[in-house]
Amino acid sequence: MNLQGKVAIVTGGSMGIGRAIALDLAANGAAVALNYRKHADEANAVIAEIERTGQRGLAVRADVASFADAQQMVQTVKETLGRLDILVCNAGINRDGVVWKMTEEQWDEVLAINLKGYFNYIRAAAPTFKEQASGKIVNITSINGLRGKFGQSNYSAAKAGIIGLTKSVARELGRFNVNVNAVAPGLIETDMMKDAPADVKDKALAEIVLGRLGAPEEVAHVVTFLCSDLARHITGEVIKVDGGQYI
């Protein structure tokens, strides 16, 4: 997959799945910018890894929930790296709780980052993609946006919203040669998951047909494919990377 000369933004690219995506895009030839809000050290470490591959990298302090920050980051990336070809919206948080105990703050924070954050960056990048008549957008959703999950009404609602957003924007930008797709991971073995209680892992493993948790790199490879010309006739799709967990 050849991404030579392309410039990508990956939100939430300092850790977990986002980190794997940023590194995989770079390994396939793209310059990569990522945002951070609190994790400057982790973001800069990813940029250092990108630069070791011979590609350019850029870390920008930006809150995905801020419309203004998204606009400014896109402008900074274009000025610093010269263009923008790829947007991967990945940043997200969990604030779990059953609906009868969930606070307004838990609901609002998840929706602000996990859904409005995606809109903010798509809105910021869309005029550039429209004007240049090319672009790739990949939104990271979740199988729980397709099926729901106990104790995650806020998270599942946001992830379901991402699917609707993906399909609508695919319709709107398709005439401008912009592909817009979503990737829906199942349970992936990130650093956070390694510390999860054993019973949580066991329940997930019982659902997964392939009998193991996914790796962040396995999600990243699908994202890179969707950002390449190999996927130029794919748009508006939701691709599950879950080892059969959804079945």
The DSSP H or E segment spanning 35 is strand 31-36
Q: Annotate 9-28 with DSSP letters as a single string.
A: EETTTTSHHHHHHHHHHHHT
Going by C-alpha positions, the residue among 245, 191, 238 that lies closest to residue 45 is 191
Tell me, yes or no, if 155 is annotated catalytic. Answer: yes
What does the pLDDT look like over 4-16, one tens digit per residue?
A: 999 999 999 999 9
Non-local (6+) Cβ contacts of 244 within 8 A are: 208, 209, 210
| Half-sphere exposure in the Cβ direction for 98 (13 Å, CA) | 2
Residue of higher predicted confidence among 80 and 189: 80
Q: How many other C-beta atoms lie within 10 A of the C-beta of residue 241? A: 21
Residue 195 has a pLDDT of: 67
Q: Which pLDDT tens digit goes with each residue over 216-246?
A: 999 999 999 999 999 999 999 999 999 999 9
Q: Is the pLDDT of residue 52 over 80?
A: yes
CA distance 117 to 6: 23
Q: What is the pLDDT of residue 160?
A: 98
What are the structure tokens assigned to 68, written together?
């203004």
The domains of the chain, with CATH numbers, are 7-186+215-241 (3.40.50.720)
**pTM given for the model:** 0.95
The model's pLDDT over 128-161, given as tens digits with 9 standing for 90+, comes to: 999 999 999 999 999 999 998 888 999 999 999 9
pLDDT band for position 211 (50/70/90)? very high
Residue 190 above 90 pLDDT?
Answer: no
Q: Which of 36, 118, 121, 155 is catalytic?
A: 155
Give helix 16-27 / helix 40-52 axis angle, nearest 10°.
20
